[in-house]
Structure 1
Amino acid sequence: MSKENTIKLLKLLLKISVSSVALYFVFRSVNIRDIFKIIKNSDYWILFPTVLLYLISKYITAIRFQLFLKVIDINIPDSLNFRLYLLGMYYNLLLPGGVGGDGYKVYYLHKLFKSPLKNLLSLSIIDRVSGMVAILLLGEICAVFLFYKHSVLFYLSLISLPITLAGYWGGLYLFYKNYLSVFNKTNIQSLSGQLLQVVCIILLLLLVNVKQDYLPYVFVFLVSSIVAAFPFTIGGIGARELTFLYGAEYLNLDMNASVTVSMLFYLITAFSSLCGIYFGIFPEKVNVEGRPN
């Protein structure tokens, strides 16, 4: 085995270990029987609109990616873009310790359009940052309403809103000025996609019979989304649940319901990612627009 493959294997084993330890702490702190009881008494029909809204949120994200592509003069049909995005989701699930979906999209577009790898890698990073900025902004808005009685946290949340937006705009202006042409549109798309995922969390809370005080749960979900984005675990599993656990403890929320919602959300993301399995088995079916592979 080469040194590079050895390093990749060690990183994967480390991620598996971190996820396992995080899940151990989570399940040690909650009552497993209560979680099964919550799931048993849930309104399962709510899962259908939740999965649908999640898929719509990913479609909006795919449109955002397509808009970023146009900035570097890559124009692909909507159908190809969404098929490629579904395949990327599938590879993110299948290859959590390897190249992943983002890397595959960069490779595929470089192969298809001969666009410089530097441009595609930059685009991939900006696409990720755009989504993260949307999560930060929504989290800060939640914090403003959640901590309005705590003067320090309230003002910190209020001040951080324009700082986050200005920091993102300033970073693009300094290093990737050409992307400012789609700044407003992509921000709206990012916020729209993330808001739909917030609705998904509210629906999951309804599913587990939490019918009030959604704001703190939504805030914890947004924080967990940021934590899960860091590549320390397998697809964020363990990190999200641990964040929900400690967030529930800090904000006096129902721990069992919080962990259950977190696990259900992960299962929805995994199930949705499997929508790209057909293109994973038959990757040649991704490109049916007649362009050379």
Structure 2
Amino acid sequence: MNIKIPKSIQLILKLLITVAAIYFVLRRIDLQQVVETFRQSRLALILLALVFFILSKLVSAIRCNRYFRSTGIKLSQIFNMKLYLLGMFYNLFLPGGIGGDGYKIYFLRKRFEIKTRNIFWAVLLDRVIGVLVIFCLAVLLIYFTEIQGIWKNLLWTLIPLSVVSAWFIYRRFFPIFSGIFLRTGLQSLFVQFLQILSALFILLSFGLSQDFTAYLFVFLISSIVAVLPLTIGGVGSREFTFLLGAQWLGLDINLSVALSFLFYLLTAFTSFWGIIYSLNPRFLGKSYLI
């Protein structure tokens, strides 16, 4: 028997987890020190971090459109980027299935005679390919950290295993998307390269001069956790992961959480511009086809 949890209960649970995660983090950091880290950060480097983050989202939008086109939805890149930004706005502020991904599915289903399940899988697999690449990069970075263990010598095998498994799943269950697996994988690699640069410039703005690899490893792990629908807008889950990761690797907890907070602020700042299309849908434009 399938037990379906009402959306109102899901929302309450997410809200409780969000509040609990934030409370847990705030109890274990020196908030004054985090604020001081922000105050002494170099604005020019933060602006560079913002530029690389925005570039990563532009590439993400192009990747997402490739999935749409595989279903038969031929959006122009300009319109797709507007829709992607609107989705980012909803993902940031709306919880549960009413978020940005749900809105994009609803929007496209109304305008195209395409099966809802195909649009759903396009949106979901766009996220999956991104998480796959993040996972592979995180595994690689482990070899440049001081993490020890017998298992470390075999961990690299997870990279080809996960890629081949994903490729098989695409071919077997999602044949309409199998032709773009490699290309979207490479685009995802570029996306993460840009986001790693964004995180790196944030660390440089804080004056960090060592242990970059360890911080970036935790950053990648937190990116995977933030994708999981555990909290509202991913708030709290990334910070919680940074806190635990910093404790595990012996990193500066306050600096780690400061990186998480600032990266979230860059995300929020960029996503907020989607409000333009939320308040004035006509700005999306009437011409959305290629």
TM class by smaller structure: over 0.9
Q: Does 1:29 align with 2:31?
A: no
2-structure distance, mates of 1:235, 1:279: 19
Distance 2:97 2:114 in 1: 23
Distance 1:217 1:119, change over 3 A: same
Cα distance in 2 between the residues matched to 1:167 and 1:147: 29
In the alignment, the residues of structure 2 paired with residue 180 and residue 118 of structure 1 have an alpha-carbon distance, to the nearest angstrom, of 16
Aligned partner of 1:289: which letter? S
Normalising by structure 1, we get a TM-score of 0.93
Unaligned regions of 5+ residues in structure 1, if any?
Answer: none
Aligned partner (choices 235, 257, 278) of residue 276 of structure 2? 278
Alpha-carbon RMSD across the aligned residues, in angstroms, is 1.7
Q: Distance in 2 between matches of 1:175 and 1:97?
A: 26
| Contact in 1 for aligned 2:89/2:274 (Cα 8 Å) | yes
Deviations, residues 4-42 of structure 1 (Å, cap 9, x unaligned) = 9x9222222211111111111111111111111111111
- CA offset digits 1:155-177 (Å, max 9, x no partner): 22x11110111111011011012
Separation in 2, partners of 1:269, 1:206: 18
Tell me the distance in 2 between the aligned counterparts of 1:11 and 1:48: 37
Per-residue deviation, 1:106: 0.8
Normalised TM-score (structure 2): 0.94
1:256 paired with 2:250, answer no
CA deviation after TM superposition for structure 1 residue 133, in Å? 0.7
1:59 aligns with 2:58: yes
The SS at the match of 1:235 is helix
What 5-or-longer segments of structure 2 have no aligned partner? none
- How many residues are matched? 286
More displaced 10-residue stretch of structure 1: 245-254 or 67-76: 67-76
Q: Which residue pairs with 2:109 in the alignment?
A: 110
Change (3 A) 1:174 1:98: closer
SS at match of 2:179: helix
CA contact (8 A) 2:147 2:249 kept: no
- Distance of 2:226 and 2:149 partners within structure 1: 27
Residue 154 of structure 2 aligns with which residue?
155
One-letter code aligned to 1:245: L
Q: Which runs of 4+ in 1 moved over 4 A?
A: none
Distance 2:173 2:97 in 1: 28
Q: Provide the rounded CA distance (Å) in 2 between the counterparts of 1:189 and 1:94.
A: 27
**What is residue 228 of structure 1 aligned with on the other side?**
226
Q: CA deviation at 1:149?
A: 5.4
Of 217, 220, 224, the residue aligned with 1:219 is: 217
Please give the alpha-carbon distance, in whole angstroms, between the structure 1 residues aligned to 2:268 and 2:225.
Answer: 18
How far apart, CA to CA, are the structure 1 residues paired with 2:118 and 2:206? 45
> Which aligned pairs between 1:1-293 and structure 2 lie closer than 5 A?
7-146=6-145, 150-156=149-155, 158-289=156-287
Aligned partners of 1:140 and 1:161: how far apart in 2?
Answer: 7
Against the structure 1 CA distance between its residues 58 and 235, is the aligned structure 2 distance closer, same or farther, given a 3 Å change threshold? same
Give distance in 2, aligned partners of 1:145 and 1:81.
38
How far residue 147 of structure 1 moved from its aligned partner, in angstroms, is: 5.3
State the AA in 2 paired with 1:176. F
The CA deviation at 1:242 is 0.9
Q: Distance in 2 between matches of 1:117 and 1:187?
A: 24
How far is the alpha carbon of 1:236 from its aligned partner? 1.3
| Aligned AA (1:155) | L
Structure 2 letter corresponding to 1:190: S
